[in-house]
Structure 1
């Protein structure tokens, strides 16, 4: 086919033509998001008010029961002949009861007659508020602003021979009630955020596959035909009027093609035949649309569901190991609590390079499905485990499947996304991982509280199998073939050896990728929980702080990747983000409070949002300058290097915590990472922006 046909195929689809879908996806996303936010806010207020109206009467009844127990003890003492004013040990008994019942702020015996029970009227007023919008807003604002209200008091009469000698007054602890309400508020908020993220993933995939892509195919066909391009256009696999419309256009184009072919068949070489050939080339009558069937959306939902299943255990794994620790386990209880996490990271680091080769050999879809076998096997081993050693083996087995599945999806995305949009493609990969991390961690903690530790692994098994079904249905085998590069004479055939001679790739790994993972696993996964626990934070509060990191990265990463694509300076964005992440940690020096930890985690989420996707793109750009290296090979080696940082991060931080306090550990870790970023900047300036590959 001539160049005219090729140029027709490659020209922009909507430039100078109509646009059927312009702005539709964004409006749909915004309207869906707005609807979910409104629904979430209303659900949150209803939940808080309903819980408040149910909890307060219960606490008042419990306070009354405590007061009545004191009243019964006093009455019994008087029945056996002890005068009221001679009863001893009453103060100590009351102090013990207050300590045992945190919802009671104060318990005292007031001599003489008093007023009516002051708790009755406030309780009635509270019940009268119901679920009104004004009352709901008032209750939520009271909880968030920690507004102190008047304490409610329950009073019980102490009678002797029909006379009121005293009253036992129990005062409800409003701070305890507000604390419970605050916990319910944030737990409900976390659940709603998790559900909203899942809903958004579904909306994005369905809108893209069922609306956006079909309309874009119609746009291409209509604008192409209007411009004189009479090729056979791509028809989607789904059924509907849009595909029927394209099929009708193709049928008309095919009829013209057949008539032209019939006219050319009986002609000899000459001007007429040459003119007909030129007409066929110019209109593309004999061309077939090269529209690619594979899309980044194909891998989005299967990857999300699998990662969601994997993250279900993150919030309780150390406690799970501690519960099933046995004397026959490899190490002591304290060491075994953290060992499955390190083993998981180590196995991923060791197996990822092999997974990359397998993906290139057998294909992304095949490896995705194959990776489910060890992953599900590991979940079942953990479900049946009776010792820490068995849990360790189960997590190591799951790590093999995790390495295969993530590298297959990452390679799939890198293959179908154009080079100029790689940062955005990798941002989608990172965003899916972060959304799954947050949702899985939150839902897993709730399931563990409701069902126990082991049933959560059965739930993970079910979701992993669902991910397999989705991958089998959605992942395409119609992918561009892996690029085959000719190795330079005398060059090593080992991808590792080849990349080790690529100075820019090595520098990115050593000075940016590994430090980022050290901060993630050493600071966020180890330092933050231990330090917050030392400040008497609850497990739920620790989980909320850790989830804030993922919650911030989810919206930040796409914005940062779009900025990186426009700027075209992925390497420098990675360098500045590395330096900034170190500076953020230094902020904890001599400011080690829970509020400061929260601020640092939030800032770290913003910084890493600008780091994650550009880091992958910068490493790929550096690796592609090496001979005989595919995208999958470069990605697998990058993931392996990152896992090395994940393995050593907890070890480094744990070792420093033995000798230093929390502020010093954070400052040293942050300063070290910032220095590495500065060194990377100086080396990049000295070596230039392009990768240097030594021979």
Structure 2
């Protein structure tokens, strides 16, 4: 892999020296630049693999090929992010919103990539640090770092929004990177489970602050008619980082170990901090937002259709993400003999499906206005797919479940958000859209907290296989209940939820 990484820039540099017009032609469009990198990597693999086949066992050659394919996809995405950063470099257009948002995307991408590197092996790292604790089994402790991280993100999010309003987006973004850098360094050096939980808590603080600060930066640096495109940049940075992080982190963990991979995460978070310092100050006056109050959550939970959306779609979606994908998949695949690199490759399927299918689903759902239909289908597909483990044992069944979860969340992610103002029209008029979405996001994260803890509890008592089946059955039941409420018994009017109250 090191030879491959060194050969690609060497080939491109040589081509640039021999043909001075080559860099200009190759960089004319992002797609052309990506095609050049892909062609160089494929040519290198074509020259290398025949020689390796005669020297190494077939399994080793297969592993090299898989890692090369993953590196191809990751390098393409990294090159594309680099091209976007170059397009947003400071200059004469420094005051333009697109330039500011483009540089924010680079900082957010680096930060999210730092967090995603450990996605394929965090439970396995926690197991290495486990020491017997009365009342807590090894299986439960393996899920605790994920559950604690998600819980603290939910706790810190309202404070992060307040800090963004008070100090401005750039200072808030910088504030988010600092505890994350310390958290990654501490995680790499952790000698006990208590230390691991402490430093993962620091990472959770950084994640919450960075997430909210980036959203606020987009809102303050884009005019109203470009805000959707600005938020698309925000979402794209998170998705691309997730797509690259798990496989890349798995390869690093295989080659250098878990602790070294966390050290790389610290360097990426530090690079994100450097990128934040290059961002412009807020262009618009800071506005005090409606503060979060428990009464807001109580009022929304009194809306039966909002409650149904939350319990039967939004919370199960997060629960399956953290419980199934983040916890059970690494643990089960490791038990099946997969390395962290192999786990990362398989988990990459989830992100690829969302990237390919998500935009199409959003367009069709918006065009038809059938957001509830797509959200219901997503729940059913996710639940049914994860139950494939009953028919196909081992890695194949888990891969089917990962792919089904990708399809489900491609259906759910955009349509759930579109349903919130539809079922809460009166609440949005009374409280404001921002407050409604803030409460929704906070309550939705409950599924992220419950997911790994529930999966670990079931796996501890009945085994990982039973936990996979239990979460799939839960997804099916919730998807069916959602369809009954929203498709078989739709509200008679937009104000139906208000009338019930």
Whether the TM-score (by the shorter chain) exceeds 0.5 is yes
Give CA-to-partner distance per residue, 1:334-367, whole Å, 9 cap, x none: 4322211111111112222332333333332222
Partner residue in 2 for 1:229: none
Aligned to 2:170: 365
Q: Does 1:202 align with 2:82?
A: yes
- Give the corresponding residue for 1:239: 92
Aligned position for 1:192 = 72
Structure 1 residues 629, 353: CA separation in 2 closer, same or farther (over 3 Å shift)? farther
Q: Distance in 1 between matches of 2:297 and 2:366?
A: 28
For the pair shown, the structure with the greater C-alpha radius of gyration is: 1
**What is the match of residue 51 of structure 1?**
52
Moved more, 666-675 or 321-330: 321-330
Is the contact made by 1:557 and 1:609 (CA closer than 8 Å) also made in structure 2?
Answer: yes
Q: In structure 2, do the counterparts of structure 1 residues 587 and 387 end up closer, same or farther at CA, with 3 Å as the change threshold?
A: closer
1:179 aligned to 2:56? no
Of the three residues 131, 134, 145, the one matched with 1:340 is 145
On the 8 A contact 1:423/1:564 being kept in 2, the answer is: no
Q: Which residue of 2 aligns with 1:391?
A: 196
The count of aligned residue pairs is: 470
Contact 1:360/1:632 (<8 A) preserved? no
Please report how far the alpha carbon of residue 597 of structure 1 lies from its aligned counterpart in structure 2 after TM superposition. Answer: 2.7
1:187-232 Cα offsets, whole Å, 9 max, x none, are: 111122112111112223433x36xxxxxxxxxxxxxxxxxxxxxx
2:161 to 331, 356, 360: 356
2:349 is aligned with 1:545 = no
Residue in structure 2 matched with residue 4 of structure 1 by the alignment: none
**Residue number in structure 2 paired with 1:31:** 32
Contact 1:356 1:632 in 2 (8 A): no
What displacement does 1:471 show? 2.2
Distance 1:639 1:529, change over 3 A: same
2:20 counterpart residue number: none
Tell me how far apart the structure 2 counterparts of residues 566 and 418 of structure 1 sit (CA, whole Å). 24
C-alpha offsets along residues 618-639 of structure 1, whole Å, 9 cap, x if unaligned?
A: 4366667535645554444333
**Pair 371,589 (structure 1): closer, same or farther in 2 beyond 3 Å:** same
Kindly report which structure 2 residues correspond to 1:139-178, keeping only aligned pairs within 5 A, or say none.
Answer: 177-178=57-58
CA distance in structure 2 between the aligned counterparts of 1:291 and 1:335, rounded to whole angstroms: 50
Q: What are structure 2's unaligned runs of at least 5 residues?
A: 1-26
Higher helix share: 2
Q: Does the 8 A contact of 1:424 with 1:562 survive in 2? A: no
2:362 aligned residue: 561
Structure 1 spans left out of the alignment, 5+ residues: 1-25, 57-176, 211-236, 244-289
Report the TM-score, using the length of structure 1 for normalisation. Answer: 0.60
Q: Give the Å deviation of 1:546.
A: 1.3
TM-score, normalised by the number of residues in structure 2: 0.80
Q: Does 1:584 align with 2:385?
A: yes
Q: Note closer, same or farther for the CA distance 1:313–1:666 as it changes in structure 2 (3 Å cut).
A: closer
What pairs up with 1:113-132 in 2 under 5 angstroms?
Answer: none
Quickly say closer, same or farther: Cα 1:380–1:292, change in 2 above 3 A: closer
> For residue 111 of structure 2, what is the aligned residue in structure 1?
306
Structure 1's 418 and 180: CA in aligned 2 closer, same or farther, altered over 3 A? same
Residue in 2 aligned with 1:644? Answer: 446
Partner of 2:278: 473
Q: Is the 8 A contact 2:153 2:207 kept in 1?
A: yes
**3-state SS, counterpart of residue 474 of structure 1:** coil
RMSD of equivalent CA atoms:
3.7
Give 1:406 deviation, angstroms.
1.0
1:181 to partner: Cα distance:
0.8
Give the deviation of 1:475 after TM superposition.
Answer: 5.4
**What aligned pairs does 1:458-537 form with structure 2 within 5 A after superposition?**
458-474=263-279, 476-479=281-284, 482=287, 494-501=295-302, 503-537=304-338
Residue among 374, 383, 403 paired with 1:573: 374
- Please give the residue correspondences for 1:214-225 in structure 2 after superposition, counting only pairs within 5 Å: none
The one of the two structures with greater contact order (alpha-carbon pairs below 8 A, sep at least 6) is 2
Q: Post-superposition shift, 1:608?
A: 1.4
Partner Cα separation in structure 1 for residue 228 and residue 309 of structure 2:
16
